[in-house]
């Protein structure tokens, strides 16, 4: 702690004295907090159980049970205790130096040595009871704990005695000392009640006081933050002649590491995450309204709420937002809080307000930071990290964002936690003091050779690219998928690879001259072309190249944007973004929007426009008079921000790896009733997993599919990898949670509304079909071959066109009939075919007769869209189950049996009349059916969660 002038040399780093006790507190608290959270999540009933009683008598876990009994909480606690040991031992030594400095006022040198020795023994004893658990060796664990508690007495007394006489610090120390020792008495009492008298529930109360010891212990040592606040540690290179501090051009230390700056940086990253969360939620919520109107609803106008960014052109308003940005960030959280608003229209309005406020705040921040000697670099990096954090969080929630307004506590949301973190981050921004400078005159805003017009076009195209392709880690893999076996990487580990590529691109962004070169743009464009035109692993590899390219442009294009007049530049950028977003929707929604035929199935047009915008933006940024000295100043000014960014990227990658590990399949999917060789198959149009009240419906869908014991199900309107659907992916959640194989069906570049197949049986091969659609919306189909009890069974899942386009429906159904007719295997049809049932209906006959399949229930006249058909299996049962408010369409389910006497192939030359004569059809009562082949009885009457047998209020069974 000597001054830098004691020896000549270069100061390599200046570390605030508070960094050591802060690191000790963070790592120590994390060890116990994470163990507690993970333990309660994964092994709650096990860690509250003891030798006397279990839940519900015992309902709160002890420290030892939480940190010492189960994987992974035990190991996580041990890892963080290991991380704590370094700062702990350093703190012991620094306290010794501090004590010696205060002699003779606060003690003797001998006492300082005694206290140092005692604290080292205490630290080692802590390692003893943490790493040797009671299940490993009960005696050694208890001895280490006793030594630790005994050493705590001189530690507490000695620390209070030798501490600098700072009244506030001493007050806190005495408070935490009293709470620590005061908790020992009731803790011993309840331990006796538990261990001697064996009273159920006593150990829970013992555990409360045991945890209070941990809190008091950590808090006592954390008070050193106050004592060390006036200290600074310096790392000096004494081998260099001449004393020279490395300083930034703005007057701050280039390599300084400040824990408060770390917290500040983390707050900005989280607010960046909130921005991306609200931005991606807006079109998703807008989509709810045209979805129900089947056309333009008027609510689409809320997309243009971002044009409010033109207000940044008013200097007084922009400066006001910049000075009060913490408060405006706080106001923008209305978009997160909006999940509490029941009315969908009002909820959308709140989200639009949140997007506008957040956009204005970030715009004012970036434009304000640009004049602070390169400080804009920090804002841009935190915004980029917020995007990557958004991807990691969505990866953990199976492509949903837990703070979206379509989420709530019933659908897996963590809205209140997200809101609380947003409030804390906003308060941190409000309370901190950011460096500032006088704003230069307007004439100095732009750089020579750079155009505000071109910068806006580049930024608008870039924001659209980020939103449409990089706000979910599975979008790239879904763009490149094909049929089995050439599916390309699945979300695990494909999502991890995309996040790694995003991190690599952001790291590469510091190579400004390379990332703005025409060669790099050509490489990125080639990767995009591969992603768009090639299926499978090769296409995904192209997507990875494109991902690295796009993220490498983040600082360059955003810094270019901030060097321009803010009002008109931001306005044009948002306008370009909106136009590309609408074009992105038009390519698939062409049947429901004016002028849709122009953009029909032309994602290539959108990608060409997007890449052109990027080229313009890169060319414009590269043409600026961005001199070498200006670049050096920007890099030096925020080398610490770069350091924090790299550390953040490492943390995000570790988190992503942990998510992928947690999502690895634990077992092989198994059918529900193999003893009967039963196949339970269903079809359901699920309205893009948005329920009738505009909340996410995936959990309720999972419950319905599980309760119905479905071995195979086709889900229609399931392609959610678009901006208007939030770049979500219900397939991965349902397949993983239900432990089923999945075929996503034709991907986003195929311009359909999507169809997905989930199966308990292995998928041997599959092909994706775009059915003929010359007039209306493009129809999709999956033709899959399953391994069902050792035999091949074919399944088709299809979603045909609407009533208005008879030619389309005729051609589509003819093609489906051909596919089924030409297959030699037993066949199940699960599809959406708009027609009335029965002979004489053209589309119906094209499907049943043309495909040589039997309708599951010929007498069911009350059908219009969804149909089940079969061939080569025995029909067992049929039911219609109400949608339960999840969508506007019921679930239709058929039960079939694969019998040995049924042929595995059929005679294609057989006439349809002869084929129909072979059908056996007779209904029987439920009590004539073995129990394992019946539908679950919970769907009778009022049913469960609003799902019930309806239309004929019971299942049909067949002989």
Query: Are 802 and 824 in a shared domain?
Result: yes
Encode 894-920 in three state secondary structure: EEEECCCCCCCCCCCCCCHHHHHHCCC
- Whether residues 223 and 265 fall in one domain: no
Residue with tokens 């010359």: 774
Q: Which H or E element spans position 13?
A: strand 10-16
Q: With contact defined as beta carbons under 8 Å apart, do 797 and 781 qualify?
A: yes
Q: Model-level pTM?
A: 0.76
Predicted confidence at residue 104, as pLDDT, reads: 53
840 SS3 class: coil
Produce one character per residue of 857-892: b if its CB has 16 or more CB atoms within 10 Å, e if not: beebeebebbbbbbbbbbbbbbbbbbbbebbebbbb
Residue 650 is encoded by which pair of tokens? 């490492």
Contact 635, 374 (CB under 8 A): yes
Same structural domain, 164 and 285: no
| Cα–Cα distance, 508 to 642 (Å, whole number) | 11
Q: What is the pLDDT of residues 351-368, one digit of tens each?
A: 999 999 999 999 999 888
The pLDDT of residue 436 is 47
748 found inside a domain: yes
Can you list the residues of the chain whose pLDDT is less than 50?
1-7, 105, 240-256, 373-374, 436-447, 625-630, 636-637
The two three-digit tokens of residue 52, written as one number: 């006397």
Q: Compute the distance between CA of residue 389 and CA of residue 655 in angstroms, rounded to an integer.
A: 10
Alpha-carbon span 549 to 535, nearest angstrom: 20
In angstroms, the CA 748 to CA 685 distance is 18
User: Cα(878)–Cα(893) distance, rounded to whole angstroms?
Assistant: 6
For residues 851 and 731, membership in a common domain is answered with: yes
The verdict on 598 and 503 lying in the same domain is yes
651 token code pair: 């943390």
Alpha carbon 901 to its chain's center: 49
Residues 730, 715: contact at Cβ < 8 Å?
yes
235 part of a folded domain: no
Q: What is the torsional sign of CA 164, 167, 168, 169?
A: positive
Residues 403, 336: contact at Cβ < 8 Å?
yes
Closest CA to 885 of 944, 831, 953, 801: 944
DSSP 186-242: HHHHHHHHHHTS--TTHHHHHHHHHHHHHHHHHHHHHTHHHHGGG-EEEEEETTSSS
Q: What's the pLDDT score for residue 246?
A: 34
Residue 220 placed within a domain? yes
CB 58, CB 110: distance < 8 Å: no
What's the sign of the alpha-carbon dihedral 944, 946, 952, 956? negative
CA–CA distance, 648 with 835 (Å, rounded to integer): 56
pLDDT given for residue 184 in this prediction = 86
Q: What is the pLDDT of residue 495?
A: 96
Residue 900 confidence (pLDDT): 82
Task: Using DSSP bridges, classify how beta strands 763-771 and 956-958 pair: parallel, antiparallel or unpaired.
Answer: unpaired
| Domain-embedded: residue 53 | yes
What is the domain-level CATH number for residue 857? 3.60.10.10
Torsion of CA 153, 155, 160, 165, to 10 degrees: 180
Q: What are phi and psi of 389, to 5 degrees?
A: -60, -40
- Give a yes or no: residue 293 inside a domain: yes
Same domain? 412 vs 499: no
Q: 877 and 782 in one domain?
A: yes
What is the helix (H) or strand (E) element at residue 108, kind and residue range? none
- Four-residue CA torsion sign, 119, 153, 62, 414: negative
877 assigned to some structural domain: yes
Q: Are residues 734 and 863 in the same domain?
A: yes
d(CA 865, CA 848): 14
Q: How far apart are the first and last CA of the chain?
A: 90
Closest CA to 249 of 630, 559, 637, 626: 637
Same domain, 433 and 474: no
**pLDDT value, residue 639:** 57
Same domain membership, residue 953 and residue 810? yes
Residue 232 dihedral angles phi and psi, to the nearest 5°: -145, 135
Residue 721's pLDDT is 96
> What's the pLDDT tens digit per position in 94-143?
888 878 776 654 557 788 888 889 999 999 998 888 888 877 887 888 88
Using CA atoms in the order 295, 301, 304, 305, what is the torsion angle rounded to 10 degrees? -130
H or E element: which one contains 405? none
DSSP run (H or E) holding 58: none
pLDDT at 253: 38
Distance of alpha carbon 429 from alpha carbon 425, whole angstroms = 6
Q: What is the CA radius of gyration of the chain?
A: 32
Residue pointed to by tokens 């796009």: 550
What phi and psi values does residue 765 have, to the nearest 5 degrees?
A: -160, 160
- State the CATH number of the domain containing residue 424: 1.20.1250
Decide if 335 contacts 355 (C-beta within 8 A).
yes
In this structure, is residue 634 part of a structural domain?
Answer: no
Three-state secondary structure call for residue 60:
coil
Indicate whether 664 belongs to any domain.
no
Q: Which uninterrupted H or E stretch holds 141?
A: helix 138-162
Question: How many of the other CB atoms lie within 10 Å of CB of 259?
Answer: 18
φ and ψ at residue 670, rounded to 5 degrees: -130, 140
* Percent residues over pLDDT 70 in the chain: 91
Domain boundary among 439, 460, 493: 439
Q: Beta 232-237 vs 10-16: how paired, if at all? A: antiparallel
> In total, how many domains does the chain have?
4
Of the residues 439, 474, 507, the one at which a domain ends: 439
Q: Name, in order, each residue with C-beta under 8 angstroms of 358's C-beta and a sequence gap of 6 or more.
A: 271, 274, 275, 278, 279, 329, 332, 335
Q: Three-state SS for 6?
A: helix
pLDDT digits (tens, 9 = 90+) for 229-248: 777 777 776 664 444 433 33
Cα–Cα distance, 377 to 250 (Å, whole number): 13
Domain boundary among 407, 439, 471: 439
- H or E stretch including 461? helix 452-469
d(CA 100, CA 94): 10
Pair 928, 879 in one domain: yes
The residue ranges of DSSP E strands in 744-847, in sequence order, are 755-759, 763-771, 779-788, 791-799, 827-832
**Nearest C-alpha neighbor of 687 from the set 728, 739, 733:** 728
Return the beta strands (E) in 882-953 as ranges: 891-897, 923-924
CA 208, CA 762: separation in Å to the nearest integer?
49
Contacts of residue 108, Cβ cutoff 8 Å, sequence gap at least 6: none
Q: How far apart are CA 92 and CA 162, in angstroms?
A: 13
Looking at residue 375, its pLDDT comes to: 59
Beta-strand pair 678-685/712-716? parallel
Structural domain span for residue 373: 260-439
Q: Output phi, psi for 944, to 5 deg.
A: -135, 130
610 shares its domain with 516: yes
Alpha-carbon distance 689 to 340, whole Å?
Answer: 19
Active site residues: 799
DSSP string spanning 262-306?
HHHHHHHHHHHHHHHHHHHHHHHHHHHHHHHHTS--SGGGGGGGG
By three-state DSSP, how is residue 893 classified? Answer: strand
* Nearest CA among 458, 480, 605 for reference residue 539: 480
Taken in order 621, 625, 631, 633, the sign of the CA dihedral is negative
Q: What does the DSSP 8-state code read for residue 897?
A: E
Of 299, 313, 351, residue with least CA distance to 452: 313
The per-residue pLDDT for 546 is 98
Q: Rounded to an integer, what distance in angstroms lies between the CA atom of residue 170 and that of residue 331?
A: 38
Residue 895 DSSP code: E
């Amino acid at each position: 702690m000597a001054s830098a002038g004691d020896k000549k040399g270069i100061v390599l780093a200046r570390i605030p004295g508070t960094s050591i006790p802060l690191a000790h507190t963070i790592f120590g608290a994390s060890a116990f907090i994470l163990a507690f959270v993970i333990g309660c999540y994964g092994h709650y009933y096990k860690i509250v159980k003891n030798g006397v009683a279990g839940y519900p008598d015992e309902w709160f876990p002890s420290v030892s049970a939480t940190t010492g009994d189960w994987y992974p909480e035990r190991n996580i606690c041990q890892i963080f205790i290991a991380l704590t040991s370094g700062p702990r031992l350093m703190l012991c030594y620094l306290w010794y130096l501090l004590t010696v400095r205060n002699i003779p006022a606060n003690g003797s040198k001998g006492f300082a040595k005694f206290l140092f020795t005692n604290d080292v023994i205490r630290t080692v004893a802590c390692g003893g009871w943490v790493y040797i658990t009671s299940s490993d060796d009960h005696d050694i664990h208890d001895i280490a704990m006793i030594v630790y508690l005994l050493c705590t007495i001189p530690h507490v007394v000695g620390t209070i005695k030798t501490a600098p006489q700072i009244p506030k610090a001493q007050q806190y120390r005495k408070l935490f000392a009293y709470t620590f020792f005061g908790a020992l008495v009731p803790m011993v009492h309840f331990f006796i009640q538990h261990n001697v008298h064996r009273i159920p529930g006593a150990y829970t109360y013992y555990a409360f006081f045991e945890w209070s010891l941990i809190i008091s212990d950590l808090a006592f040592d954390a008070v050193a933050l106050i004592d060390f606040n006036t200290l600074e540690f310096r790392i000096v290179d004494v081998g260099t002649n001449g004393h020279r501090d490395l300083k930034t051009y703005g007057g701050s230390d280039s390599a300084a590491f400040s824990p408060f700056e770390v917290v500040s940086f983390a707050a900005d990253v989280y607010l960046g995450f909130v921005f991306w969360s609200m931005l991606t939620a807006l079109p998703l919520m807008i989509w709810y309204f045209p979805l129900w109107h089947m056309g333009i609803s008027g609510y689409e106008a809320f997309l243009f709420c971002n044009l409010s960014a033109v207000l940044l052109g008013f200097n007084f308003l922009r400066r006001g937002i910049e000075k009060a940005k913490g408060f405006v960030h706080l106001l923008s959280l209305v978009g997160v809080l909006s999940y509490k608003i029941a009315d969908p229209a009002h909820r959308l309005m709140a989200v639009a307000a949140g997007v506008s406020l957040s956009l204005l705040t970030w715009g004012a921040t970036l434009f304000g930071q640009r004049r602070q000697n390169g400080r804009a670099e920090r804002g841009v990096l935190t915004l980029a990290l917020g995007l990557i954090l958004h991807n990691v969080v969505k990866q953990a929630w199976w492509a949903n964002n837990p703070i979206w307004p379509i989420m709530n506590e019933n659908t897996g949301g963590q809205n209140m936690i997200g809101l609380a973190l947003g409030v804390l981050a906003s308060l941190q921004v409000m309370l901190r003091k950011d460096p500032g400078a006088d704003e230069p005159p307007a004439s100095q805003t732009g750089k020579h050779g750079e155009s505000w017009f071109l910068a806006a076009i580049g930024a608008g195209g870039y924001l659209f690219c980020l939103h449409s392709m990089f706000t979910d880690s599975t979008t790239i893999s879904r763009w490149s998928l094909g049929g089995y076996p050439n599916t390309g990487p699945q979300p695990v580990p494909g999502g991890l690879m995309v996040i790694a590529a995003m991190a690599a691109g952001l790291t590469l962004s510091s190579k400004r001259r390379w990332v703005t070169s025409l060669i790099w743009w050509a490489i990125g464009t080639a990767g995009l072309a591969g992603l768009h035109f090639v299926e499978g692993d090769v296409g995904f590899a192209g997507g990875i190249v494109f991902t690295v390219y796009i993220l490498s442009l983040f600082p360059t294009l955003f810094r270019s944007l901030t060097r321009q007049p803010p009002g008109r530049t931001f306005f044009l950028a948002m306008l370009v973004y909106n136009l590309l977003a609408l074009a992105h929707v038009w390519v698939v929604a062409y049947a429901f929007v004016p002028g849709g035929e122009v953009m029909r199935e032309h994602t290539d047009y959108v990608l060409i426009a997007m890449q052109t915008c990027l080229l313009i933006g890169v060319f414009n940024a590269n043409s600026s008079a961005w001199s070498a000295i200006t670049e050096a100043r920007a890099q030096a000014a925020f080398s610490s921000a770069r350091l924090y960014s790299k550390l953040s990227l490492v943390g995000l990658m570790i988190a992503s790896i942990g998510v992928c590990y947690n999502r690895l399949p634990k077992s092989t999917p198994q059918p529900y009733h193999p003893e009967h060789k039963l196949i339970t198959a269903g079809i359901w149009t699920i309205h893009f997993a948005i329920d009738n009240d505009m909340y996410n419906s995936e959990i309720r869908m999972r419950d319905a599919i599980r309760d119905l014991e479905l071995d195979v199900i086709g889900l229609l309107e399931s392609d959610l990898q678009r901006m208007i659907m939030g770049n979500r992916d219900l397939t991965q959640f349902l397949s993983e949670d239900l432990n089923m194989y999945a075929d996503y069906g034709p991907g986003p570049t195929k311009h359909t509304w999507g169809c997905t197949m989930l199966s308990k049986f292995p998928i041997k091969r599959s092909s994706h079909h775009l059915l003929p659609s010359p007039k209306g919306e493009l129809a999709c189909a999956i033709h899959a071959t399953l391994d069902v009890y050792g035999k091949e069974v074919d399944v088709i899942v299809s979603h045909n066109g609407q009533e208005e386009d008879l030619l389309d429906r005729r051609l589509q159904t003819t093609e489906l009939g051909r596919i089924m007719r030409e297959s030699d295997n037993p066949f199940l049809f699960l599809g959406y075919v708009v027609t009335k049932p029965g002979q004489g209906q053209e589309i119906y006959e094209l499907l049943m007769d043309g495909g040589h399949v039997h309708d599951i229930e010929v007498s069911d006249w009350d059908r219009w869209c969804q149909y089940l058909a079969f061939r080569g299996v025995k029909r067992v049962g049929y039911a219609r189950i109400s949608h339960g408010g999840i969508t506007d369409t019921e679930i239709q389910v058929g039960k079939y049996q694969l019998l040995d006497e049924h042929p595995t192939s059929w005679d294609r030359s057989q006439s349809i009349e002869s084929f129909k004569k072979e059908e056996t059809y007779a209904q029987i009562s439920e009590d004539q059916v073995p129990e394992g082949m019946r539908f679950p009885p919970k769907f009778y009457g009022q049913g469960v969660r609003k799902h019930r047998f309806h239309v004929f209020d019971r299942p049909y069974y067949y002989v």
